Amino acid sequence: MSIRPSKARKLTEQEVRHLRAKNRESPINAVEAAKMLGVGAETIRRMLRFETWPNTGEGMTETELEPAIEASKEKLARLMAEYKEKDEKGDKLLDELSGIPEEDI
């Protein structure tokens, strides 16, 4: 059962551009902005890190680009580790199954 509303409000492109411009001038408080716009604070944080709304026609500044690259690298490393773990579990399961006589399968 989800505690989130099924039809959550979404940011508009105009709001995204406005918040990013404002954040360039002076860091904004994600919780306050979220309350004002009726969205979650994490929605604001992810938008400011360009994890969402990446194609608004705005370029990222160098100071915004570095954390975004680091976040992407961390996400990639995490996903690769998860894949490796699942792959190893799959190999182990195949090894276990290959030891079972065919008539028992």
pLDDT tens figures, 10-34: 899 999 999 999 998 999 999 999 9
How many degrees, rounded to 5, is the angle at CA 24 between CA 20 and CA 25? Answer: 120
Q: What is the pLDDT of residue 5?
A: 45
pLDDT for 6 beyond 80: no
Q: Provide the whole-model pTM.
A: 0.52
How does residue 95 score in pLDDT terms, banded at 50, 70 and 90? confident
Whole-Å CA distances, 53 to 2, 5, 49, 92, 104: 24, 21, 9, 40, 53
